[in-house]
Chains A and B, each alone.
Chain A
Amino acid sequence: MSMVESELATLTAAKVVDARGSACPGPLLEAKKGIGAVPVGNVLEIWSSDPVTKTDIGAWSAKVGHAFLGTLPAEGYERVFVRRSK
């Protein structure tokens, strides 16, 4: 269910988690912690400077049943988007 960059750029996240500077599994754990504060159907945005985060968040989303929407590049980090589905 991934979205193109122009669509991602229009998203407003219900919560933004800043995990920059944190190595694996830090950003994943922050995402797990953060998703609880996002209402079902809304978007969680994770900021990470760790290049494996997007792949890991994709795997995590598939396992726990959320929708991985994609990533947007930013200055020295990536913005990773997940829609809470349950």
Chain B
Amino acid sequence: MQLIANITVLAAIYALLACGYVLIYRVSRVMNMAHGELAMLGAYLLYTTASLFADHPVGAIAAALVLSLTVGVLVYVALMRKMTGQMVLAAILTTIAIGILLRGVIVLIWSASQQHPLQALKFSNPSIELIGGARISTCAALMVLATVAVYAALFAFLRFGRWGMRLRAAGQNPLLAAQRGINLNAIYALAWALSTLTGSIAGMLIALDSGLDQTMVVIGLKAFAPALVGGLDSLLGALFGAVIVAAAEVLAIHYIDPLLSDVVPFLVLIATLIVRPWGLFGTREELDRV
């Protein structure tokens, strides 16, 4: 039972981070290598707002969410606007550079030592006993709930919302979308904002659960595996990919070797690339093959 609980929690983390990759890739065909750093930045923003609004935890969380949305828009407007649609290498390198920059800036502002936003918010994190004797912490449970909520909201937004439809249209064919009067810049900015927001939610919940330091970047990179396993342009795929990768990782840690935890997602990724490079639910035409 404990194993299943662990898999669920890890899958929730991966799914919440992976949907950020999927959103940006689906709309603008850019792989955002700075996603882990942006998630980390969101968590640090929560840490700051928590100490600013010491008595209003809800206000602090809301402020941090708004700030992370702004960060997403700013990253697009200031940097990625020039790079979207450019050579793959240039776009990837720009996001990598953004990541490096953010890492440095975060240490400069908040120092490299571990922070605990949980205490700053004056929350406690008791563990909950589930049916079958498994135990998970409250924050982990919140993580699962948040993932369900975010995915439900994203599906509803993309399926029924006016802006969601525009987003899908821009992803399908930017030229036609632009000719139908869709403001591509606004759409791309929206995708970056949403991606940063969901990433930040993940970052905040991870930080609440297990403290906050630079290791979050690695989780962010590992979360790319589920996004690709499921198919880079499919949200549903990200969900399935997250479950697959999380299951593989937890089982490998439990039965083989704890050191494997950092490679298993990448092994799954390589296997996917060999067998089915476009992922479980991805669009096949994505890959231009010789």
State whether these chains interact: no
